[in-house]
Structure 1
Amino acid sequence: MRLLYTFSLFVILSSCSTPQKNKISTQKKLNDNQLLTLVQRQTYKYFYEGAEPISGLSRERYHSDNIYPQNDKDIIATGASGFGIMGTIVAIERKFITKQQGYEHLKKGIDFLAKADRFHGVWPHWMLPSGKAKAFGKNDDAGDLVETSFLAQALVCVRQYYVNGNAEEKALAQKADELWKGIDWNFYRQNNKNVLYWHWSPNSGWKMNFAITGYNECLITYIMAACSPTFGVPAEVYHQGWAKSGAINTNISLYGHTIKLKHNVVGQSVGPLFWAHYSYLGLNPKGLKDKYADYWEENRNHTLINYDYAIANPKGFKGYGKNSWGLTASYSVKGYAAHNIKEDFAVISPTAALSSYPYAPKESMQMIRHLYENMGDKVWGEFGFYDAYSETDNWYPKRYIGIDQGPIVVMIENGRTGLLWNLFMSAPEVQSGLDKLGFTYKK
């Protein structure tokens, strides 16, 4: 999980920046639809105008301030690239870019992925513009199954989007299809165990030994593994591995909201809000149920716990309330942190509330309007809202992280039209995989 990499990310993230851009002016008196569209358009620029130029994929991060030299601005992030690919479909449909521009941008990225380093079909967490893997941490220098699953859900969406298109579009759909079907999920069971493992390296093998168990951001990893028609895993891998033979369940109430899934955090609490986003960019939580949870209720309650926590503001932080809420992994006054209600450093991450738009549209809209109209260019820049801020510490870094920007574009669209949910859930392999695992869902 991202929280396990806090120290290594702190070291890396503290070494980046780019020259100051001109201030981005904000406009007031936009209606809700106009403001949502503006936020989506501005945020998507990170994945188009701000894309890594050789691959056309997502940079890991981008700094608009001058505090640190940005020596690693060309690092390509696999998971964020998946989110950016899904965002490009939104951009085409919303006419932020033309249909041809969108096709060419997607083709550039997918062509790059086809030639990039893969390890039993799995991409690394980070890549260089050469397509070679870049180590994310010690012994984590090759296959990253979770980041790859975030990308795989995007490739399914691309296939579904172009499957009935013209000849060029059908060819791109086929290439996306071949890439995700080339992921060997079974290999990442580490010798056929009934659990998936996050990492494998030709240099250090299974030394990371990180079994993926719930509940966190990784549900989509098991869904994609079950869906694969080429390397699909049996249902036991999900039930015994992810769900820990039922030990995934709990029954707690926080701020009057019930949680049935035991989050992988200390104590009876909930994790950072990205856990309610990453797996659900394509996977529609509306009506999604299995014997462990109702995933719409879980994600909505996770969101409202964050909202009510900010209103209660037990630590008395400046600015917390109905207009400034949401804790998730992001930059922090302490370097980098997986913020949650048990690990709160007075830092608000806009992606937390904005990407929760489908679950709590009124509460999310309050936050969007406050940020845009009242806080302005303290928090708003060339690629949308900056990654994090703290009113308590008067801390407003002008920096972006790709994996935080991506869900904003996609989840707002899912809340508005269900675009990516409809594409992903229309895939027959997805439906077969969900059936295999015992889910009920909206078709």
Structure 2
Amino acid sequence: MNRRFAVCGISNRAMSMFIQPLLTDFAATNQVVSLLDSDLHRVDLCLEKFPELVDVQSYKDDQFDQMINETKPDVIIVVSRDDTHIDYILKALANDIDVITEKPMVTTSEDAVKVLEAEKSSKGTVTVAFNYRYSPFHRKIKEMVLEGKIGRVTSVDLNWYIDTYHGASYFKRWNRNRDLSGGLSIHKSTHHFDLVNWWVDQYPEEVFAYGALNYYGPNGELNPDPTTDNRHCGTCQVQNGCDYYMRWNPRTLQSSVKDDHLKMGEDNDKQYTGYRPDACIFDSEIEIEDTYTATVKYNKGALLSYSINFSLPFEGYRLAINGTKGRIETQEWHAPSRVPFEVPEQTIDYYPLFGSREVIHVVQTPGGHGGGDPILLNDIFLGVDPRRDYEILAGAKAGAYSIAVGEAVWKSAKENHPVSIKELLKIKQKI
């Protein structure tokens, strides 16, 4: 029996991550029955890319109830802008329909609580597509912790690095507005907080953090013209004086521009109507942070030391997990094609408390997000792999805790005091 899917938000991610696999790898038991977006131009682009959907019904964002009544989906896939997730999730749960949502589940702890409460009274369930859990390296680390290789987890050091190409992209697009994305401690860092929560299998209780806007916004030190606002990369008169622009768009290579965001800005007919993803990274409306350091305390004693920076020469992370019996270390280099030097192969180093180092080479899998996307999709569309003896597919509770830590980070940075996760999620007992 086929499951019937409605897709809310026809973003590029929706088409590549969900719609295409549903039409190919998982078509035998799954069917796309409806498409919904605030901009029907996006639906037209989807039909242009997937002509086999020509008979699928499409709807505007204010026609959700009509879509449910007419197409009767079993599952809603939410891949719209972050701030719109909450409406689709609550409406789906009110109709006892399952939800699959991209991260972040929602953009505020208040909305996370609403989802948790709605799920309790619904026959539907919420799945959050935390694909980072599914990376072969991340699964191996989880398995090592579960095997007791390092004993009881005592502390985690996680430093995340975003390069000037990827980092700047968030400040060219809607992500730079906190009302739309929750800020980058939610839009981006919830991936990382969920990973740590999952690895240590403990609940975050309290957060203290610092944050700053160091690189982007009107006071960015590399702003080539602080007197001018509301520029766009593709038409900017001072683009040749902007180091961020010139790093990815050298004058001698204008026929093969490397910056995909600039390409999208020049190709407006492939975007949302009236939207450009190449707004100036130095605009005055930017007020979210681009740099964070944070400490998170967990309910069973673990401590997380976390940092993220959105304007660095390379991309990746360094991780160490310490326990009463040893230590796990790894370093990953994302996007090596954007790094002007050779990068080493990623391995996992295991240090027993009393003994010599063991270097572990992990069998890798192809696909997006370090090979995590295809395995996640198998669990979503075929059912959780029965051979795996630990929980990996994330639900609403995991989504809520990741949101709460992300919100606590920027609130603590703004207000200069520790923030309680229990207070954000209104927890009187363990959820």
Higher share of residues assigned strand: 2
- Relative contact order, higher structure (CA 8 A, sep 6+): 2
Length-normalised TM-score, structure 1: 0.29
Length-normalised TM-score, structure 2: 0.29
- Structure exhibiting the larger radius of gyration computed from Cα positions: 2
